[in-house]
Structure 1
Amino acid sequence: MRSVMVYEKLGELIRCYRNRENKTQQDFAKEAGIDHESVIAIEKGEIPLEHAVLKSLLVVLHIPMAEIVAHLVTEEVSTELWLSLLEASLPSQDRRLCEDIVVHVLACCNEDCEDLLLRLYQMIQKWTGSIEMRLELLDNVISFARSRDLQSLVAKGLFYRYLVERDDFSRMEETFQSGQAVLHYVELLPRDERVVFYYKLGVHAFHIDRFYESIELAKLGIAEDSSVSTYKAYSTLLICSSYFRLEEYDQAEKYLKVISQFPFSFVQEHVDFLTTKLLEKRGNVDLAISQLQKCLTLSSHKIGIVNALLRLYLSKNDCTSAKHILQQEQEYLSVDYLNPISIKGHAYYFINKGKWLHRWGKNSEAVDCYIQSVSMFVELTENDIELLRKMERTRLNMMNAAKIGRNLTDTSVVQLSQELDTYIVEIQKKGIFKNSLLRD
């Protein structure tokens, strides 16, 4: 339960904290950057609190936000000040406080409140704190829009809610369902937001291997976009990549030609990379490797190219090239895990690195890499890590047994198989493989 000091007026609260900080009215006025007469008037309750003074109450006088809000409830407060209070309160991640402020903002809504609700949506969606808290705040605003039968604002709220929810990369299957729910309202969104939504949901579909849905959504976005925009270019790229993953290479080549016509700097890099992947699928592996090596020197996003090279080097047992590229990993590994493309790329890298370490007999280091890959998607406990170690060691021992030609009916191999099954069942119960690449 939050403890709030009791004063009849906000001015009394300010005076109490000013005295506690041993500051005169002149001291506070100087540090707050306001005139002395305004401080006197604020403490007397003769003028309302303004945005310019709010930060000083928090920073100079160290008044808790909860106490400021509690005292403002009985006073006349502008909508702008309530919005300022919400913006200042969000970083605290105090859910109850922020919900209280949102209620007061909504209480300011008159008959024409579209702009106010939109500002609330945008403020909550753009804040980068707790996803769960942002969703709860958005739900409050969406419920208000429903109660007023403001269907276009319900649609907009669900769209912003989806943008927040899709940032939880540990629940991509579940959050995709939320995105699909927005499809029922999509015609109520402005055209530019429909374009953004179709593209983002299409990318989402791609990353959970729903490639036909990804193609359909990208095409819907392209149909809505009458301009030559980056969204149209990326949507075309999405269609091409989806057809590639579906092994429909003629269609992938068709859309690759369409992509190459867009006048954006990022286009050529993607065209070159996809061209090398198509060369590989057409059987031109050596040419694909040569082109990938050129791409690696020019590309600003190297992790996908590195993964492709490591995989091809593995197929050709080119240890020298693999060692060289692994020794340069500081050049292409990033700490930017803020999107599923980056996360998936790094997860694949650790799997590919693990395969090479296993080939070189460094099984313990290989297992560490596989665990690192899983940790890109799941927060692992020490017990989870130990369980994964046991599973991977057993799996690698089975691979070694097969490599030296031991029969699957050998007692030791049967025992390894039973151990592996036990570990896999336990890991599946924990849900560790739910989103990781090792589930494949």
Structure 2
Amino acid sequence: MKNVEDHIGEIILRYRTQNKLTLSELEEKSGVSKSSISRIENGETKRPELITLLRIFEALDVQYEEIIELYISNETRNSSLHDLLLEAIQLPNEDLTIKIVSRILENPKEKTEDSVEILYNTALTVEDTEIKLVLFNQLAQYCRTRGIQPYMSKALFHRYRIERNNPHRLEETFRHGEEVLYYIEFLSHEERINLCYLMAFDAHDLKKYEQCIELGKMGHAEDSTSNEIKERIALAICNSYMRMGKFEDMESHIEMYEKLGYRFIMERSKYLRAIILSKTGHYQEAIPLLRECVGEATKNNLIHRVNDLIEALLNVNDVNSIEQVINTEEQNFSFDFNNAYNFSGIGNYYKNKGAFLVSRGHFNEGMDAYLQSIVYYGKINRIEEIMSCAVEINMHHCELKKDMDLELLKKLNEVYNVIKFGIRNEG
């Protein structure tokens, strides 16, 4: 019986003959040396590299999927299959990766636990994000059907860590994180802390403030070390209490974290207490502090501090100060970010700017600001906020008895197309 190498060699020879190509001509088209091609055709090369076969088949214009699958299915040694997997990862080729992973997991000559462990350790070392995600997805699905909960939980955890880097799909990703929580006991101590912290941040960005507090405190209960992430979680907890209007709880937690020596809170205590003053109507005390905080802001938190200052100024109808803030601070904004919290902050800023400009008689400029707001909300799929902007645009037209001109409709259409295209690409 012919081995698979002989079979593949015959296929290459047959298609080369049909295409009337010499070895030299196929070498030129494929980039594979004619001596290598000749050895493969003669069955002399044992287990040719995948990249070599793919180049030859592509040069011959052959549908190679079934042939490669045959090549994979005839291999029973995990060491060789692992080598094939590493080749597929380097290509990178998702379809081939999935086929090889399935073959490794279903290989009757190897113990299931050994195969799973090999794949898990391999996945940890992969740099290509998409391939890494494919590996963890395959592992999670297989381990779920076989009841291998320790590796299923770890694969789901790593899938969540990868997926959460896409702010446009944060809601879906958060649900995946909630699935991991059911199996948190199978994670290592460090992984449990990491999961709680990451989910707390995501809950905050998704305005799930009660869950942010709960998850953050779960992480704190596990984490006995001193580190910046732990203190950032404390800030997210304080912010969550603020967003929920629980200012007494916010103040008590600020005091607790100060006593614990959380530098990240201590450096921001003036800002946090200025927010409490503003939110409780003490604007005369809050506004000077908020101005100071804007002046002390970093590029990462400037937009949020400007929003808080503008909100306070709007409540006292200080239009001159608002105009000054817009004119001086917007040029200092950093747009070099990729997280939902900052996209939301920029969206809020342009929405408030749009309303302010319309109120000052700058109607067209206000509409442009609203469009900017919609763009940033669209990057994180905030449909409710997008609809709110659309409602306000329509409301201003009705109140000022303005017709929706063609130019604005074109701009709206362009913005919606950008958002729709982004959703389609990320989906």
TM-score with structure 1 setting the length: 0.68
2:120–2:139 CA contact under 8 A, matched in 1: no
Query: How far did residue 195 of structure 1 move?
Result: 0.6
What runs of 5+ residues in structure 2 fail to find an aligned partner? 381-385, 403-419
* Aligned CA distance change for structure 1 residues 169 and 390 (closer, same or farther; 3 Å): closer
Residue 363 of structure 1 deviates from its aligned partner by 2.4
* Contact kept? 2:57, 2:64, Cα under 8 Å: no
AA at the equivalent of 1:115: E
Contact 2:54 2:64 in 1 (8 A): no
Structure 2 match to 1:341: 341
Q: State the SS of the aligned residue for 1:8.
A: helix
Gaps of 5+ in 1: 1-5, 30-35, 381-385, 402-411, 413-431, 436-440
Shift of 1:190: 0.8
Per the alignment, residue 416 of structure 2 pairs with none
Matched residue, 1:276: 274
Q: Give distance in 2, aligned partners of 1:56 and 1:274.
A: 61
The residue number in structure 1 matching 2:222 is 224
Measure the CA separation in 1 of the matches of 2:212 and 2:64.
Answer: 45
Q: Deviations over 1:357-412 (max 9, x none)?
A: 212222233233223323334479xxxxx9999744431145558xxxxxxxxxx9
Q: How does 1:259-408 map to 2 (within 5 A)?
A: 259=257, 270-271=268-269, 273-281=271-279, 283=282, 284-296=285-297, 298-315=298-315, 316-319=317-320, 322-323=323-324, 325-326=326-327, 328-336=329-337, 338-378=338-378, 391-398=391-398
* Conservation of the 8 A alpha-carbon contact between 1:354 and 1:366: yes
Picking from 145, 148, 170, the partner of 1:147 is 145
TM-score by length of 2: 0.70
Equivalent position SS for 2:114: coil
Instruction: Tell me by how many angstroms 1:194 deviates.
Output: 0.7
> In 2, distance between residues paired with 1:387 and 1:259?
38
Retained in 2: the 8 A contact 1:7–1:13?
no
TM-fit CA distance, 1:215: 1.0
Specify whether residues 86 and 391 from structure 1 end up closer, same or farther in structure 2 by C-alpha distance, changes over 3 A only: same
* Alpha-carbon distance between aligned partners in 2 of 1:7 and 1:47, rounded to the nearest angstrom: 9
Aligned position for 1:72: 71
Match of 2:406 in 1: none
In the TM superposition, what is the alpha-carbon distance from 1:333 to its structure 2 partner? 3.8
1:214 corresponds to = 212
Q: Per the alignment, do residues 74 and 101 of structure 1 end up closer, same or farther by CA in structure 2, a change over 3 Å counting?
A: closer
Deviations 1:144-194 (A, max 9, x none): 113332111121223233334545545544543333232221111111111
Distance 1:252 1:379, change over 3 A: closer
* Alpha-carbon distance in 2 for matches of 1:247, 1:168: 29
Instruction: Report how many residues are paired.
Output: 377
- Contact (CA 8 Å) 2:156, 2:180: kept in 1 or not? yes
CA RMSD of superposed structures (Å):
4.6
Alpha-carbon separation, structure 2, partners of 1:195 and 1:233: 13
1:100 is aligned with what amino acid?
A: K
AA aligned opposite 2:83: L
Match of 2:158 among 112, 135, 160: 160
Q: Secondary structure at the match of 1:116?
A: helix
> Paired residue for 2:414?
none
Residue in structure 2 matched with residue 428 of structure 1 by the alignment: none
Q: Identify which range, 286-295 or 150-159, moves more after superposition.
A: 286-295
- Mapped to 1, the partners of 2:9 and 2:254 lie a distance apart of 64
Q: Deviations over 1:257-314 (max 9, x none)?
A: 4545788986666545434323433522232233223223x55442212222332343
Deviation larger for 160-169 or 16-25: 16-25
Structure 2 CA distance for aligned equivalents of residues 70 and 39 of structure 1 = 20
Looking at structure 2, the residues matched to 257 and 224 of structure 1 have their Cα atoms a distance apart, in angstroms, of 21
Q: Is the 8 A contact 1:363 1:393 kept in 2?
A: no
Cα distance in 2 for partners of 1:113, 1:308 equals 54
| Paired AA for residue 81 in structure 1 | D
Matched, 1:242 2:240: yes
Structure-2 change in CA distance of 1:19 and 1:209 (3 Å):
same
Task: Say if 1:205 and 1:211, in contact at 8 Å, map to a contact too.
Answer: yes
Query: Which one of 188, 191, 197 corresponds to residue 190 of structure 1?
Result: 188
Determine whether 1:102 maps to 2:120. Answer: no
Query: Sequence identity, in percent?
Result: 24
Whichever residue aligns with residue 100 of structure 2, its letter is I
Q: What secondary structure does 1:101 align onto? A: helix
Amino acid at match of 2:219: G
Higher relative contact order (CA 8 A, sep 6+): 2
- Which whole-Å CA distance do the structure 2 matches of 1:387 and 1:287 have between them? 34
Contact 2:232–2:264 (CA under 8 A) maintained in structure 1: no
Shift of 1:334: 0.9
Aligned ranges 1:9-88 → 2 under 5 Å: 9=8, 13=12, 19-23=24-28, 44-49=43-48, 69-70=68-69, 72-73=71-72, 76=75, 78-88=80-90
The letter of the residue matching 2:98 is E
Rate the CA distance shift 1:334–1:62 in 2: closer, same or farther, 3 A.
farther
> Kindly tell me: are residues 299 and 278 of structure 1, through their superposed partners in 2, closer, same or farther at Cα, counting changes over 3 Å?
farther
| Alpha-carbon distance in structure 2 between the residues aligned to 1:387 and 1:273 | 31
